[in-house]
Amino acid sequence: MTPVREDELTQRSEFRLDYKSAYQVTSKSVIEFPWLCKALAIGSTLDVEVMQKLCRAATKQSIGSFWQANKLASGNGFSLKRKGKKIPPEWLKVLPVFDEEDGQLGFSKILSQTFGKRYPSRLIESPRSEELYSAPLLIIPESLSGDIGDPAGYLIKNRKVCFSKSFFGYSAHGHRASTLVASLLATIVHSAVFRHFCYMRSSRVGASRRTIYKLDIDAFPFPEIETLTKDQRKEAMRLANMLDASDEKNWKALDAFVGGLFGLTKAEQQVVSDTVTFNGPYAVVREQAMRTVPTEEADAFVHTLEQAIQPFFRAVGQKVKASLVPRLEGDWRQPWAFVTLLLDGDSWTPSEKLIASLIGKASDSAASRLVMPLPEGGLIIGLLNKRRFWTRSRARLCALHIAEEYLERCFPLPARK
């Protein structure tokens, strides 16, 4: 069980157990998928399915196995511990030292001092291998920023650059398609899918420090270069160049490309997007998740719910209609919002008195969702009026719940001719 943090409740030393916060898991499944409990804590069963798909893809080839099989260098940068006893090698002294401020200017604009100038008389613990710093090279910060727009990696295309152990380096130097390999990796680490994977898998992010291990990066799937189409290769290069440019980034195109590489459906990509947007372990994410749901998001929820439940009706010659119940008049933040689900042709609008009564009862119960069958058929669904409960992924989960629990009770089958 994982209570979702809601600041207004925690200030009163209370918490709510959302209906999607409690799961049964077997010891066998936890052993098989060590990330399972964390995935369920941050996301839902839909996130687990995405993870299982990514892990299956990684069994074919992961970033780690690709780098190892091709004998490419990867690892933390140089270590500058105070008790270091090694004299830095000459090749390291002449390399510019990467720092993130340079990266912010654009990945190709490294202006830093050389190692020799920055640390003139410093002994080091380990310089790492020279190959690690060879271009093309992706430098990935171990800290995972809460801002999706922040760089998650820095692509160094054509010069050697050294970096400290606060970064992981993945050099594609020596590979026959080195630029493509580095571009692909740069594109991947900037994607919502990669961020989602880290949220689910990393033992640190969302648990202690917001940093990732190299093991987390290595475990992520990597496409088979030989099977990429010409268009996919071109797109990977274009997206990597987009990351390097100062223009506004098209994150949707990047996410769709990476999701497509690993066969994620649009619905699965939506799960990734919803979790990253509303469930990330950052205050900025939590705050926007707790805001009142805007009308367009509520409409999207209603549309997705109707679309996801429709096959169960269409299959028996019926049609179902989902509608958002208008909010009660008045200048107040209505704590709950409601959706009706009725057979096409039926009509019913709840009275303001009923809605007010439902809000009172629902608030007393500390629930985050209520589903109430209507006497004449159909049902009314109430959800806490907070954005995190109105995502399209939640709409799909809600549709599945209704399909399991309420079809027979609320929607009689049509009489056969």
Partner 1 sequence: MNPGFFTRTYCVPHPRLDVRWIAAVHLALLRVFELIRADGFDLINASEDDITFRLEDAFENRLMHDDGGDFDLNFVRSVTRESATANHDESSIGRKPDLVFRLKRELCQTHNRVQDSLFAECKPVGREHPLNEHYCAVGKKTSGIERFVCGAYASAMEQALMIAYVRDGFQITHHLADTLVIPKTRVGLGQPTALSCVIEATSKNGQGLYLTTHQRLFSWDDGRPATPIDLYHSWHNC
Q: How many of the chain's residues bind partner 1 (CB under 8 A)?
A: 33
Q: Rank residues 105 and 413 by Cβ distance to partner 1 and give the closer one.
A: 413
User: Which region among 154-162, 172-180, 272-280, 392-400 touches partner 1 (by CB under 8 A)?
Assistant: 392-400
Token code pair at residue 214:
């190299």
3 state DSSP class of 341: strand
Q: Rank residues 114 and 310 by Cβ distance to partner 1 and give the closer one.
A: 310
Q: Rank residues 128 and 392 by Cβ distance to partner 1 and give the closer one.
A: 392
List CB contacts of 304: < 8 A, sequence separation 6 or more: 392, 395, 396, 399
Q: What element of type H or E holds 258?
A: helix 251-261
Using a 10 angstrom Cβ sphere, with 0-12 exposed, 13-18 middle and 19 or more buried, the burial of residue 95 is buried
Binding residue (CB under 8 A) for partner 1 from 314, 347, 348, 360: 314
Q: How far is the CB of 153 from partner 1 (least distance, A)?
A: 29
For partner 1, the binding residues in 85-114 under the rule CB under 8 A are none
413 binds partner 1 (CB under 8 A): yes
Q: Rank residues 45 and 347 by Cβ distance to partner 1 and give the closer one.
A: 45
167-171 and 320-324 strand pairing: unpaired
C-alpha span between 164 and 141 (Å, rounded): 10
User: Which region among 98-106, 149-157, 369-377, 393-401 touches partner 1 (by CB under 8 A)?
Assistant: 393-401
Q: Rank residues 249 and 401 by Cβ distance to partner 1 and give the closer one.
A: 401
User: Which region among 25-33, 128-136, 138-146, 240-248 touches partner 1 (by CB under 8 A)?
Assistant: 25-33
Q: Rank residues 265 and 295 by Cβ distance to partner 1 and give the closer one.
A: 265
Give the count of beta carbons closer than 10 Å to the beta carbon of residue 340. Answer: 20
Q: How far is the CB of 407 from partner 1 (least distance, A)?
A: 5
403 binds partner 1 (CB under 8 A): yes
Alpha-carbon distances, residue 240 vs 19, 73, 86, 185 (angstroms): 40, 20, 37, 9
Q: Rank residues 25 and 87 by Cβ distance to partner 1 and give the closer one.
A: 25
Binding residue (CB under 8 A) for partner 1 from 57, 189, 308, 358: 308
367 binds partner 1 (CB under 8 A): no
Q: Rank residues 83 and 417 by Cβ distance to partner 1 and give the closer one.
A: 417
- The backbone region for 351, taken as left when phi is positive above 0, alpha when psi lies in -120 to 50, beta otherwise, is beta
407 binds partner 1 (CB under 8 A): yes
Contact indicator for 74, 132 with CB cutoff of 8 Å: yes
The amino acid sitting at 295 is T
Closest residue by Cα to residue 276 from 43, 118, 101: 43
For partner 1, the binding residues in 30-59 under the rule CB under 8 A are 45, 49
For partner 1, the binding residues in 256-295 under the rule CB under 8 A are 263, 265-267
For partner 1, the binding residues in 204-263 under the rule CB under 8 A are 263
Q: How far is the CB of 38 from partner 1 (least distance, A)?
A: 18
C-alpha span between 110 and 113 (Å, rounded): 9
Q: Rank residues 152 and 399 by Cβ distance to partner 1 and give the closer one.
A: 399
Binding residue (CB under 8 A) for partner 1 from 232, 241, 310, 323: 310
Q: Rank residues 263 and 294 by Cβ distance to partner 1 and give the closer one.
A: 263
Q: What is the 3-state secondary structure (H, E, C) of 19-72?
A: CCCCCCCCHHHHHHCCCHHHHHHHCCHHHHHHHHHHHHHHHHCEHHHHHHHCCC
Binding residue (CB under 8 A) for partner 1 from 105, 316, 356, 366: 316
Q: How far is the CB of 368 from partner 1 (least distance, A)?
A: 16
Could you give phi then psi for residue 13, rounded to 5 degrees?
A: 60, 35
401 binds partner 1 (CB under 8 A): yes
311 binds partner 1 (CB under 8 A): yes
List CB contacts of 160: < 8 A, sequence separation 6 or more: 95, 130, 133, 134, 135
Contact indicator for 336, 362 with CB cutoff of 8 Å: yes
Alpha-carbon distances, residue 186 vs 3, 80, 118, 137, 153 (angstroms): 35, 26, 27, 9, 6
Residues that bind partner 1 (CB under 8 A): 24-29, 45, 49, 263, 265-267, 307-308, 310-317, 396, 399-401, 403-404, 407-408, 413, 416-417
